Structure 1
């Protein structure tokens, strides 16, 4: 049996007496696209931050490929192959597309200070290859500050792939994008995930994106998982329709 890339075991986090995440457990397989949805305040961001090491759990464990990584900070999880994209893109506007990706590569190879002094074309080819994979090779010399928002999301995806992740966490990856660009980005992500056996967990408010690209869907409400399974089964679940989907239309 294949070891899950990610296992959450009873994760719990309380803020001011409110259980933002309440005993959440799930597993994520290599190459799988798993969507996490739920109403505002359901605890999705807190769960993401627990998985990424930005917040310490009150209880529970996080395992990466079988290894206990509970409580490790984001930089150490990055070293172990956890990539992340954010709802608001995290790129340097004044640097070129290629330079942003090279910075991520320099970090992965522990050479980040090389960027502050002449370093020739260190990792330039690798940066170009990553940008080619996300459809941005033709714009590698452009400053990120002049890019369309959808293109910025592609650059951020290339940066997240720089450490050759086995797990990719994507927080509302299509927020702010036009509908066609949303579908294109997630189709591209799914193709990369399948080809390289990268496990992907993403949050998303666009249900067309969720049900069009997720192999499995989890629904969080008031910190608890209320449903998990194939997209159509989750869509038909009366608890999900009452707590979330019914409020979308």
Structure 2
């Protein structure tokens, strides 16, 4: 049974059909990459699932709950976490304080003054940081952390509400190759341990090939291909639409090793 089911999803801006009746499903325990050239409708699709944009047509079902029409906070409460292309953390707060803020929000305690926020579920926050390899830097301000470490803190924040679905918008943007691989390997580990699903957008095809279980390809608002990355890399339509002549894609293919 699919955790997420998207049916007939559509969105227009003026006379431009940004997303045109796309359908896909995502079961728990899977990483699904959403890729396509600029203007394909990736961000629009992503933001409709998250509630930042309201769909004009179609349905987005999460565990039997309709998400279309709900605000982002309500969708978050239903078990959807999110990370952003540019890491969203409070730079002046420590890593653990950032996670504690997420826990306060999850428990509807942000406006409460009944106890010091710095003491709120600190052990739980440390445990979440430990899951992303950041417990040792829990008391360091995010402003002094390396960018890759900030992305790990953001991931801890995103899983603070124990999400069933994690949305990751360009998770490896601005990261060095080793940082990219470390973050995605960590994400894969969390998916297995927590049994959650991940929908992510990504321009780095080495990341997609290495870590996505499946990928869906959009072009001009329509879904043109869906399947396993190592199968779709040889699809002529995907090469033509996404990579033009295919030369860039051939270089990426040559750098990817077949799984053992």
TM-score normalised by length of structure 1 = 0.96
| Structure 1 partner of 2:35 | 37
Between the aligned partners of 1:247 and 1:85, the Cα distance in structure 2 is 32
| Structure 2 partner of 1:71 | 69
| Structure 1 partner of 2:83 | 85
Shift of 1:113: 2.2
Shift of 1:173: 0.3
| Structure 1 partner of 2:47 | 49
| Structure 1 partner of 2:253 | none
Tell me, yes or no, if the aligned pair for 2:214 and 2:226 is still in contact at 8 Å. yes
Tell me, yes or no, if the aligned pair for 1:103 and 1:115 is still in contact at 8 Å. no
| Structure 2 partner of 1:141 | 139
Between the aligned partners of 1:18 and 1:219, the Cα distance in structure 2 is 19
Between the aligned partners of 1:125 and 1:204, the Cα distance in structure 2 is 33
Residue deviations 1:90-118 (CA, integer Å, cap 9, x gap):
11111111111100011011111247962
Between the aligned partners of 2:124 and 2:113, the Cα distance in structure 1 is 15
| Structure 1 partner of 2:150 | 152
| Structure 1 residue ranges without an equivalent (≥5) | none
| Structure 2 residue ranges without an equivalent (≥5) | 250-260
| Structure 2 partner of 1:58 | 56
**SS of match in other structure, 1:112:** coil
Say if 1:118 and 1:241 are closer, same or farther in 2 by CA, change over 3 A: same
Alignment of 1:1-249 (within 5 A): 3-114=1-112, 118-119=116-117, 121-245=119-243, 246=246, 248=248
Shift of 1:69: 2.0
Between the aligned partners of 2:19 and 2:247, the Cα distance in structure 1 is 22
Say if 1:123 and 1:248 are closer, same or farther in 2 by CA, change over 3 A: farther
Tell me, yes or no, if the aligned pair for 1:81 and 1:166 is still in contact at 8 Å. yes
- Tell me which stretches of 4 or more aligned residues in structure 1 moved more than 6 Å: none
Between the aligned partners of 1:221 and 1:114, the Cα distance in structure 2 is 47
Q: How many residues align?
A: 247
Say if 1:143 and 1:66 are closer, same or farther in 2 by CA, change over 3 A: same
Tell me, yes or no, if the aligned pair for 1:167 and 1:199 is still in contact at 8 Å. yes
Residue deviations 1:130-156 (CA, integer Å, cap 9, x gap):
000000111111111111111111011
**SS of match in other structure, 1:113:** coil
**SS of match in other structure, 2:124:** helix
**SS of match in other structure, 2:181:** helix
